[in-house]
Structure 1
Amino acid sequence: MMQRKRASYGIGNRIKLSYTRKIIDSIHSGNLSNATYEKTKVFGLEIPSEIEEVPAEILRLENGWADKEAYMNTLLKLAGLFKNNFETFMEYKIGEGNKLTEEIRAAGPIF
């Protein structure tokens, strides 16, 4: 059996606990409801542009990777896995006129 190698396992650092706490505090306080958001590539996640007392550079996912090409390759690989999973799921018809199935498909990664 062939083993798959994880390209990014063990690389990088966790964000500081104090930053995590500030993010959670912003969620609980409702401050993020007034924040400006930027959409990420491929998955279209909406990430706040800034959170008080949290460095803006850690909010952008790609900034956590020294090798930007490896980041993009990993992102596209993950998106491909999601797409394959969506295709398997799409054989089920959900909602009147298949409406929910199409909404789920539209929420998937964008290549």
Structure 2
Amino acid sequence: MANNQRKEVEKNEKIIRGLLKLSPNRRCINCNSLGPQYVCTSFQTFVCTTCSGVHREFTHRIKSVSMAKFTSDEVAALKEGGNECARKIFFKDWNPQRYPLPDCR
């Protein structure tokens, strides 16, 4: 791997880890469990291990934060997206009194 490529990979990894530390991204978008370690690039969200498996079953693209290499385009999409943005889109009509969020089970 060329030095420039290595630097870009390291830069992208640092950005992803920084995004993971943001409050909205500290919990899985789907089940609200702490410490998601995967990214669903189909929706630009952070998800836990269990939910990553469910997303894979629906053929959504999943990447491990610690094991995968992210492209600059994927990083840019995650910066624009993330769990807070996804909640505004996908959970805008959610009524937690009527339908509580699922848990990690």
For normalisation by structure 1, the TM-score amounts to 0.29
Determine which structure has more spread, i.e. the larger CA radius of gyration: 1
What TM-score do the two structures reach when normalised by structure 2? 0.30
The structure whose RCO (Cα within 8 Å, separation 6+) is larger is 2
